[in-house]
Amino acid sequence: YGLLDSNLVPDLAATKIVSGSFVVGSFATPIDAGSNSLTVGSIRSAAIDTSDHDINAGSGTVSAASLVASNQISTSNLTASTGEFSGGLVVRGNLNVVGSLDYIDSTALSIADKNVILAKTSNPTDALADGAGLFVCGSDFPTSNDAVSFTWNIGSNGDYWLTKGGALAIRSSNGSNATISAGPTGSLLLSSDDGVHSKATLKFGSSLLPDSSSVDHMIGSNSLSLTGPVASSSARASAVYSTTTDATSLVVGSNLTLSAGSTTSVSADILPGSNGAYDVGASSNAWKNIYAGSATLSGSLSANGATLSAPL
């Protein structure tokens, strides 16, 4: 036991060292470790070169400032403060990464699984899921509150996905785009761009507004086509402004008012809802002149003090 001067032992083949430590000197010739073993003690050296042999630590540990291997390293448990792989890394089991901010420096990240689960914990809650999503790193990220993101938010009126710093775009097979975004007052903006006509935007909020006077709501090649009503009997639009209205039928729930100075042309019959139930004008709000090519009365005619003249 004790100190062994390796300069005095040029060949330690088939020798078993059971105790002690190598602390000084060097071996003049290589040591054949094939039939040797070290069962007690430690080996201390600036470097250990095993060439084409293996180091088997058994149930012990191997501690080193750095570990370089040209072939694979097999171990049941590997603990390191930092590490770097110049080649590929294959994990056969589960990979758990625990950190406050983890980086993946790659051109593209490919995931074979069908689902990506965010905010996954052993005890998931709505509070932990609030704000989870995808963020796009721009020049002001993450200090800017307007970073482009798509996150899940918990709200008092229901949970929802929130887009920030951009709009949702739906692209057709021919390259046309339809986008959904929010206006500065919270109105819903629907925009379409087919690459041919001028971009059109319809704004849904307190009013339904066209982006320009050239946009049709119901007809035309650049239009909003609806198969149902714009409003309902319980939620009506307060006013509808249109340069031209082309409708198969027009149902007015109360009064139909035409602005002064306008001329209304009718190319069809005007019929009351039921026979003999409605008037044209009123005693307190009478028409000034009525011009007719011919008139057929099924009831009485009352002039109410006015002069009634007819050609002889």
pLDDT band, very low/low/confident/very high, at 143 (cuts 50, 70, 90) = low
Pairing of strands 133-135, 21-22: unpaired
State which residues form the domain around 124.
Answer: 118-156
Task: Give DSSP secondary structure letters for 249-296.
Answer: ----SS-----TT------S----SSTT---SSBTTB--S----S---
Which of 53, 70, 95 is a domain's end point? 53
The pLDDT of residue 19 is above 60 = no
Higher-scoring residue by pLDDT: 107, 259: 107
Domain count, the chain: 3
Burial 264-297 (b: 16+ CB within 10 A, else e): eeeeeeeeeeeeeeeeeeeeeeeeeeeeeeeeee
Q: What's the length of the chain?
A: 312
Residue 257 lies in a domain: no
Lowest mean pLDDT among 27-41, 196-210, 271-285: 27-41
Separation CA 161–CA 251 (nearest Å): 39
The pLDDT of residue 10 is above 70 = no
The whole-model pTM stands at: 0.41
Q: What is the pLDDT of residue 181?
A: 79
The verdict on whether omega for the bond into residue 311 sits within 30 degrees of 0, i.e. cis, is no
The pLDDT of residue 277 is above 80 = yes
What distance lies between CA 11 and its chain's CA centroid?
70
Tens digit of each residue's pLDDT (9 = 90 or more) over 203-230: 665 444 555 555 555 444 444 545 455 5
Q: Does 152 lie in the same domain as 171? A: no
Residue 27 lies in a domain: yes
Residue 221 lies in a domain: yes
Q: What is the pLDDT of residue 210?
A: 52
pLDDT band, very low/low/confident/very high, at 2 (cuts 50, 70, 90) = very low
The pLDDT of residue 82 is above 70 = yes
Mean pLDDT across 185-199: 73
Residue 285 lies in a domain: no
Which of 107, 130, 156 is a domain's end point? 156
**For the chain, how big is the Rg over CA atoms in Å?**
44
The three-state secondary structure class of 127 is helix
- Half-sphere exposure of residue 196: CA atoms within 13 angstroms, side-chain side: 6
Mean pLDDT across 69-82: 73
Average pLDDT of the residues of the chain: 70
Residue 205 lies in a domain: yes
Query: DSSP code of 308?
Result: -
Which of 18, 37, 53 is a domain's end point? 53
Give the contacts of 93 (CB within 8 A, at least 6 positions apart): none
Q: Does 43 lie in the same domain as 5? A: yes
Separation CA 75–CA 203 (nearest Å): 63
Lowest mean pLDDT among 23-32, 98-107, 148-157, 232-241: 23-32
- Give the residue carrying structure tokens 């470097």: 47
Higher-scoring residue by pLDDT: 146, 302: 302
Amino acid 297 reads L
H helix count then E strand count, the chain = 1, 12
Nearest alpha carbon to residue 187 among 203, 202, 199: 203
Higher-scoring residue by pLDDT: 43, 124: 124
Beta-bridged to residue 141, according to DSSP, are none
Q: Does 223 lie in the same domain as 171? A: yes
Lowest mean pLDDT among 94-98, 180-184, 286-290: 180-184
Separation CA 284–CA 107 (nearest Å): 80
The pLDDT of residue 58 is above 60 = yes
Q: Does 174 lie in the same domain as 140? A: no
Q: Does 172 lie in the same domain as 146? A: no
Higher-scoring residue by pLDDT: 189, 231: 189
Highest mean pLDDT among 133-137, 142-146, 186-190, 299-303: 133-137
